[in-house]
Chain A
Amino acid sequence: MKSLDQNKDFLIHCAKTAGYRVVAEQITLATRAGIVAALLSIDSKYTENAEKIISSAFGKALVQFGVSMVLHQLPVDNPHVQALTYECLVSSIATGEGAVLNTAFSGVQDFVKNKILSIKDDSFAKVQESLSESVEEEIVQHAKTVSV
């Protein structure tokens, strides 16, 4: 069982790391929005594709990587900047790999979803069928008693 101090330290550490992650996310979002706005203002046939790429998860990863590289090259020996650089690079890798995984498994996800839905439909149909049969029997029996 962890002590109260340990829990407190753990929470503080988590909050600090989360702070860096939030800053990294917001910087990325702002940079991405800026790039997209800049691309929209350019009147070229290539910008449309570039805009699509930047707006995708891969684009986000690319922007995060770019931000981390810029921060990495800054001639500042500051622990906060270093932590932010680290967080940006980690987020970039995570976003990129996550996007690859999502693309790779989207087929599997659809298959599983459809399978579950078909199972659900089958069971629903069976229940409906058995229900209708039992109702039919009841009606027949009721009719017999009525005729008697």
Chain B
Amino acid sequence: MNTQRRFLKNFIQKTYSDSSLTQNGFSIHGGCLRDLIADKEFKDIDVFVDDFDTTIPHVIRIMRDLGVTAIRKHTKGGSIMDSTTINGLYQGELISVELAKDFNNTWDVNINELFLTKVRDKNKPFSEAIPVGIKNDFTDVEGHTLYVGTYGKSGCTLENTLADIRNYQFSVFNLYNMKIAARIEKMSNRGYTHSIDKNFNKAVMLDKPETQVMLDKPEARSTPSFLSGCLKEAGYQIAIEQVSRGVQSALVFALSGGDSSKVEFAKGVLESDFGKSLIQSMLFLIAYHIPMENEHLEKFTHNLLVSSIATSENALIDFASSKLQAVVKDSLGGLGGTEKRKAKRVRQGSTHSSETLQSDSEALDEAVLQASA
């Protein structure tokens, strides 16, 4: 990481936790944050402020705290009109922070208003106008204001909104932005389009076209990703099944040498579903305490616990419903189908055996005749 990037990271942490700055409409330009996250080079550190007089002393103080020396202030010296540039030396390198005055071109998007047209057209409150599936996605962010900063002529498109939200992830001011961004992106992927309501200058979400509505039905979900997810999950389940079966059979085999009733009991328990669940729990505890950061290990551990719970619950259900099963089986047997089939099988078997006997005796007779001849 070069010096400028290191400085920006420290600067972000300091400024966004400084209440005197956040209260004064302080926001770091999304572009340089985006570049920082994407590990790209950026030219300037641009900051938007409501009021220079209030903000500049705080910015200078923070820069000093971070170890910036030889601080110089230049008004109207930047690429943006009505701006102030603060230069200084940080770890021997020139650092430049450009403060631009906010021309009220930041806009707030209330999550309720994202669906402004839909709510207005249907003349219903948000909670009733939005489809259930979508509403569920937004339940935890409903009512929270989505603060989005844009500048100049970048335009207030949904793509810009999403990019800005992502780049504001350092901001303590916008705790819900990341959540909202994820939801908007999800909707965007589902085929919803967006537009700017010129009367309100707000982003609004539009209905998707009819064809898209058709595509969004459950049967038309993204099949390849769904299947690959299923296959991966199944892989973990198979691995767990094989590992637990291996351990189970090894333990049962190890106990097979003993003759005492206690050993027999332990063997019986291990061979049962509860024993399997117990083994899976033990394996989970071992895997959970392995000091290793690995995605597959985590999923394996998770699946071990899930399998353990599911196995014991299934065994319990089977145990609890065994009487009911017997009753159902009896009543099904009473229908007569089984008896009829059994009788048929017996009939077939007896016919078959008598035929075989007859052919056998004939062959024996022939053999005797040949031998005597």
CB-CB nearest in chain A for B132: A77
Say yes or no: B234 contacts A94, CB within 8 Å. Answer: yes
Q: Number of contacts between A and B (CB, 8 Å)?
A: 85
Report if A58 contacts B (CB, 8 A): no
* Cross-interface CB contact of A26 among B307, B314, B332, cutoff 8 Å: B314
Report if B340 contacts A (CB, 8 A): yes
State which residues 35-80 of A face B: CB under 8 Å.
Answer: 37, 40-43, 72-77, 79
Say yes or no: A41 contacts B309, CB within 8 Å. Answer: no
Q: Which residues of A contact B133 (CB under 8 A)?
A: 77
Given A72-B218, A77-B218, are A90 and B305 neighbors across the interface (CB < 8 Å)? no
Q: Mark A1-44, 1 if CB is under 8 A from B, else 0.
A: 00000000011011101110110011000000100010011110
A97 to B335, CA, bound (A): 36
Q: Which residues of A contact B132 (CB under 8 A)?
A: 77
Q: Which residues of A contact B306 (CB under 8 A)?
A: 14, 17-18, 21
Report if B64 contacts A (CB, 8 A): no
A11 to B309, CA, bound (A): 10
A19, A82, A93 — most chain B CB neighbours (10 Å):
A93
Say yes or no: A22 contacts B317, CB within 8 Å. Answer: yes
A121 to B12, CA, bound (A): 72
A72 to B223, CA, bound (A): 11
Instruction: Identify whether the interface residues of B are mostly helix, strand, loop, or mixed.
Output: helix
- Count of A interface residues, CB-CB < 8 Å: 37
Report if B265 contacts A (CB, 8 A): no
Q: Which residues of B contact A131 (CB under 8 A)?
A: none
State which residues 247-305 of B face A: CB under 8 Å.
Answer: 253, 302, 305
Q: Which residues of A contact B340 (CB under 8 A)?
A: 43
Say yes or no: A41 contacts B234, CB within 8 Å. Answer: no
Report if B214 contacts A (CB, 8 A): no
Given A25-B310, A75-B217, are A42 and B234 neighbors across the interface (CB < 8 Å)? no
Q: Which residues of A contact B128 (CB under 8 A)?
A: none
Q: Which residues of A contact B237 (CB under 8 A)?
A: 90-91, 94, 98
Report if B233 contacts A (CB, 8 A): yes
Say yes or no: B238 contacts A37, CB within 8 Å. Answer: no
B219, B309, B340 — most chain A CB neighbours (10 Å):
B309
Say yes or no: A40 contacts B218, CB within 8 Å. Answer: no
Distance from B315 Cβ to chain A, minimum over Cβ atoms (Å)? 10
Instruction: Identify whether the interface residues of A are mostly helix, strand, loop, or mixed.
Output: helix
Q: Which residues of A contact B229 (CB under 8 A)?
A: 86
Q: Mark B208-241, 1 if CB is under 8 A from A, else 0.
A: 0000000001110000001001110110011001
Distance from B364 Cβ to chain A, minimum over Cβ atoms (Å)? 31
Say yes or no: B219 contacts A42, CB within 8 Å. Answer: no
Distance from A104 Cβ to chain B, minimum over Cβ atoms (Å)? 12
* Cross-interface CB contact of B219 among A19, A33, A72, cutoff 8 Å: A72
Report if B186 contacts A (CB, 8 A): no
Report if A116 contacts B (CB, 8 A): yes
A98 to B244, CA, bound (A): 13
Given A73-B219, A89-B230, are A10 and B314 neighbors across the interface (CB < 8 Å)? no
Report if B57 contacts A (CB, 8 A): no
Distance from A84 Cβ to chain B, minimum over Cβ atoms (Å)? 12
* Cross-interface CB contact of A101 among B226, B242, B335, cutoff 8 Å: B242
CB-CB nearest in chain B for A82: B218
Q: Which residues of A contact B58 (CB under 8 A)?
A: none
Q: Which residues of B contact A40 (CB under 8 A)?
A: 332, 337-338, 341
Distance from A125 Cβ to chain B, minimum over Cβ atoms (Å)? 15
* Cross-interface CB contact of A90 among B218, B233, B242, B338, cutoff 8 Å: B233
Q: Which residues of A contact B219 (CB under 8 A)?
A: 72-73
State which residues 112-127 of A face B: CB under 8 Å.
Answer: 113, 116
Q: Which residues of A contact B120 (CB under 8 A)?
A: none
A74 to B219, CA, bound (A): 8
Say yes or no: B309 contacts A25, CB within 8 Å. Answer: no
Report if B313 contacts A (CB, 8 A): yes
* Cross-interface CB contact of B310 among A13, A22, A116, cutoff 8 Å: A22
Say yes or no: B253 contacts A26, CB within 8 Å. Answer: no
Q: Which residues of B contact A74 (CB under 8 A)?
A: 218
B217, B229, B314 — most chain A CB neighbours (10 Å):
B314
Say yes or no: B218 contacts A43, CB within 8 Å. Answer: no
A73 to B341, CA, bound (A): 36
* Cross-interface CB contact of B344 among A33, A43, A72, A89, cutoff 8 Å: A43
A-B contact pairs, 6 of them (CB 8 A): A21-B307, A22-B310, A41-B337, A43-B344, A91-B237, A97-B234
| Complex A-B, nearest 5 residue pairs according to Cβ-Cβ distance, in ascending order | A41-B337, A93-B234, A18-B309, A94-B237, A21-B310
Taking Cβ atoms with an 8 Å cutoff, the residues of B that contact A are 132-133, 136, 217-219, 226, 229-231, 233-234, 237-238, 241-242, 253, 302, 305-307, 309-310, 313-314, 317, 328, 332, 335, 337-338, 340-341, 344
